[in-house]
Amino acid sequence: MTKPLLPIGFYDLLGEQAIANHRNTNQILEVFFQEGYQLIKTPLLEFAENFSADNLANNFYTVDSISGKNLIIRNDITLQISRLLSGRLQTANLPLKICYVGDVFYAKNNELYPDRQQTQLGIEIIGSSEVATQLNVLNTLLTALHGLKLQNLLISITLPDFMSVFFAEIISKTNIGKTSISSQQQQALKQAIYQKNISGIKEIAKQNNINHDFIDSLTILILEHQDLHKISEILNNFHCPALNWQLHLLQEIDLFLQQNFSSLLKTYDIFGDNHFDYHKNIAFDIFCPNFNYAIAKGGCYQVQNSLEMAVGATIYANHLRKIL
């Protein structure tokens, strides 16, 4: 008899592994509840028309036998919250604190991380993006992770708006070179920054007569991930209010982490690598030692089809299972 198989990237949890997963999930949810987050439960299937084309990548599709409409199997719960806010939660008082837990499914897997069935545990504060809101989300998330006895956690903090602000205020408005930089060269420079390709940056600088002091400052911003003092010195030297606001946000969060989670390792990847494409103001990844994937992610974003801002974070239970 042929042994029944599961599709690639799907799995069963049995015995002790299932019990441990259940226990860790409940422990995380208890922290969410204690911090005033209300649990929601959303369906696995949604009408595809509820979401924009940009949000429909890597979904499983099927057709509803009753309505005849296209259905998707969710690959992210945050998008379902956007749908709730335009429906049943439309009249809810803001800011609204909600949490969720559930499986999501991907049509394609990452070659390095094959799971297509993943479990998300998350929190969202809808209707606010103030620094106090960001700190509330960070505090709740880190409290939940520390409750699992995870050691030597590292947070990588990114400013998703920084690249656009930097180019608008510094590249476009200041005379950093003897010639203006074309839009094509600006895109090439952005890509080199995202890739942290210092030699590529220097080559573009040479082609555009960009002065060496500027490139030295840019190199420090890119490479000095653990030295917020050096980053602050460079940004202050630009005398740019828009950049100063970005720096102030970073310093507020850094101070909070020092005072409340002093054992947490920190890096400041202010340009990021463009994987926080829909986030605003602040975004972050949290890592465990000797594990290549973020066990949690979060940040500020604008709710789909809404003017409301939100702050959220998601813990990936699949990754936790490989660590705990």
Residue 175: pLDDT band by 50, 70, 90 thresholds? low
Positions of CATH 3.30.930.10 in the chain: 15-151+288-321
Residue 179: pLDDT band by 50, 70, 90 thresholds? low
Supply the DSSP symbol for 138: H
From the list 182, 137, 159, the residue with the least C-alpha distance to 274 is: 159
Please report the pLDDT score of residue 215 as a whole number: 86
Contact (Cβ atoms closer than 8 angstroms) between residue 281 and residue 129: yes
DSSP 164-188: HHHIIIIITTS--BSSPPPHHHHHH
Token reading at 126: 């809808």
Please report the pLDDT score of residue 277 as a whole number: 67
DSSP 19-59: HHHHHHHHHHHHHHHHTTPEE----SEEEGGGS-GGG-TT-
Q: Is the pLDDT of residue 1 over 80?
A: no
From the list 66, 69, 23, 26, the residue with the least C-alpha distance to 46 is: 69
Please report the pLDDT score of residue 171 as a whole number: 72
pTM score of the predicted model: 0.90
Q: Is the pLDDT of residue 27 over 90?
A: yes
Residue 134: pLDDT band by 50, 70, 90 thresholds? very high
- Partners of 266 in the beta sheet? 155
Contact (Cβ atoms closer than 8 angstroms) between residue 122 and residue 313: yes
pLDDT tens across 248-302, in order?
989 999 999 999 999 999 999 988 876 666 788 889 999 999 898 899 999 998 8
Q: Is the pLDDT of residue 314 over 70?
A: yes
- CATH class of this structure's domain 15-151+288-321: alpha beta
